[in-house]
Amino acid sequence: MNAPTDAKLLANPLLEPWPSPLGLPPFAETTPEHFAPAFTVALKMHRVELDSIATNTTEPTFENTLAAFDKSGRLLTRIEQMFYNLTASETSPALQAVEREMAATMAAHTNAIYMHAGLFKRVDTLFNQRTSLGLTAEQNRLLERVHLDFVRAGARLDANAQARYGKITEKLAELTTQFAQNVLADEAAYRLVLHDEHDLAGLPDSLRASARQAAKERGIDGFVITISRSLIVPFLTFADNRQLRERAYRAWTGRGEGINEGAAKFDNTPVIAEIMALRLEQANLHGFASYTDYALSDTMAGNHTAVFDLLMKVWLPAREKAVRECEILQAMALSRNEQIDIAPWDWRYYAEKVRQVRFDIDDTLVKPYFSLDRMVEAIFDCANRLFGLQFVFRPDSKAYHPDVKVYEVRNADGSPLGVFLHDNFSRSTKRGGAWMSNFRSQSRVDGEVTPIVVNNNNFAKGVEGQPTLLSFDDARTLFHEFGHGLHGLLSNVHYGRLSGTNVLRDFVELPSQLFEHWLSEPEVLKRHARHIETGEAIPDALMARLKASHQFNQGFETVEYTSSALVDLALHAQTSMAALDITKFEAQQLASIGMPKQILMRHRLPHFGHLFSGDSYASQYYVYLWAEVLDADGFDAFNEAGDPFDVATAQRLRKFIYSSGNTIEPTEAYRAFRGRAPSVTPMLKKRGLLVA
């Protein structure tokens, strides 16, 4: 990378104070060309700060080593958070080029931090003295976590092993970037054009409107189905044309595999094989037999056996239930004189037909009560009633895309808490799925720093001038991501390393999944689920049918998810990656657990971004189920109090779950909130998987 000229640096908004009243990044003033020079400066500055800590001639203390380490790299973090949010939410070929260029450099910088002998010596000295230092509980937690960060990053390896470890992590950074860009390119390129009523048969008006809007955004006359979940799932649910359902389903489940038209260059199967070989070598260098052993050693679960036992406790009854569900779908097809065997692209279609008959309910009845605007009001209202938060829309503050809304967040007393960005719509420049991230994390180690949190969803935008309507599942996703958002916004810690969602992976989904429960509360539905035309509240009878249908198709949904978690666990538990064939491995593992042929795993390996766009969920996709045990048991605390907004319970929830970050060991945090350890029974009951 060429060194930036002085003129470039002087004109670089990333290196100047950010003047927005809310502290937002300078989106309008920044171009992709600004990032590489800014990274060069910020990386150099961070290295100088770290060397200054390491070469300090005074004896190490918590303040001159740990606190100083936590303060360091603020400029770099600021630029990183802006850059990686943009590459996920509003990317471009120019940004992707910078992302590829910087991948190995950023990994090398991380290696330089955690393999810095002088720095680790000071941290290690304090760690060995920790019982005699008189530290607060939070300071001790920071010391323990930072020390573990160093160890898990290779600080204790010998020089040769460290050199190899560095090369591994740099190559992994390149490969995971390539994986993510391949999936995004495949998703952005695919479009199923619907030409006439034969193609559109069965599609409700709301889906037709979204498909027309998708076509308009792509300059196509007619209707387009993309691989965005908010378009593809409704299409598979309602389209009468079985051939088109199959085409769409194969494209959706085959993304990242190089099978879609023009997508051969986006084949991720060799990328995954290389990632897996490097991960195993990484684990071996740490002395672990498999990557699973390495990854799970720093989780609540702790080991492979605990995770596998939980997954199988759910898998066996879920598979049995899915088999019974399939028989019901097959009977529905026969009752319609359709001589077919249920295939994966048929499941949602016939499940919807059964749901309509059994519960007299379908999305055309439900969606008019779940407009996006009303559901946003609902999440804000729940946050206000639980935690006293106020969300003030700031149309004067512009984000990185016109669709993104900016809110100033205040406490009950009017004091500033943070900033919330809501990015709800699908577009070709945005990766699929839904997620929460930070443009700035909360801390107090270097003055009061309030968080800037963003929620990303991928809802299909309604026709211009018309409200965007959500399915009940879409609304659940909105609540889920907002739960993550609250975890970031409500963070109340001193040190950045312990802030917000910087918790163990199998704890991070608890705040998000717990918040989903409020969507189903009658009190919330009556207040916010109102018809887009009449304004009338959702009828009691429709609410009752929604509740009655909740456990319907849970065998299918649980099998979809749990199979993905089991394949992830099995893949990363391998002790040899020689001649690994990803496609064959996936098929063999599914056969070994008795996967019903009518269902595919929720995320096939070639597009399984949780595992291969980074390492955060590698061998840890089980965490959603682990957290569901906690969230189902946790929400029972409100049921036991007799009020979904019980003040005392909400105060404990805020203090120990949403605000404590990583300052408390997660098992202790849950016990402090709930008063006891969690039970798995509420989760099994919620999913209808309790054996009678």
DSSP label at residue 290: S
Helix residue ranges, H only, 55-136: 68-71, 74-89, 93-114, 117-128
How far apart are the C-alpha atoms of 543 and 648, rounded to whole Å?
A: 28
How far apart are the C-alpha atoms of 394 and 297, rounded to whole Å?
A: 44
Question: Could you tell me the end-to-end alpha-carbon distance of the chain, in angstroms, rounded to an integer?
Answer: 65
Which residue from 460, 403, 475 is spatially nearest to 230, judged by alpha carbons?
Answer: 460
How far apart are the C-alpha atoms of 147 and 141, rounded to whole Å?
A: 10
How far apart are the C-alpha atoms of 359 and 551, rounded to whole Å?
A: 12
Active site residue 29: no
Q: At what angle do helices 623-641 and 554-572 cross, to 10 degrees?
A: 130
How far apart are the C-alpha atoms of 206 and 381, rounded to whole Å?
A: 26
| Three-class DSSP category at 277 | helix
DSSP label at residue 517: G
How far apart are the C-alpha atoms of 363 and 369, rounded to whole Å?
A: 10
How far apart are the C-alpha atoms of 242 and 520, rounded to whole Å?
A: 33
How far apart are the C-alpha atoms of 294 and 572, rounded to whole Å?
A: 10
Among 481, 509, 516, 628, the active-site one is 481
DSSP label at residue 61: -
Which residue from 84, 184, 180, 85 is spatially nearest to 399, judged by alpha carbons?
Answer: 85
Q: Where are the beta strands (DSSP E) in 298-415?
A: 390-393, 405-410
Residue showing tokens 């409200």: 467
Count of alpha carbons within 13 Å of 27, Cβ hemisphere only? 17
Contact between residue 397 and residue 23 where contact means Cβ atoms under 8 Å apart: no
Residue 410 structure tokens? 């205040």
What is the separation of C-alpha 333 from the centre of its chain, rounded to a whole number of angstroms? 36
DSSP label at residue 258: T
Contact between residue 409 and residue 389 where contact means Cβ atoms under 8 Å apart: yes
| Three-class DSSP category at 495 | coil
DSSP label at residue 262: T
The residues assigned a catalytic role are 481
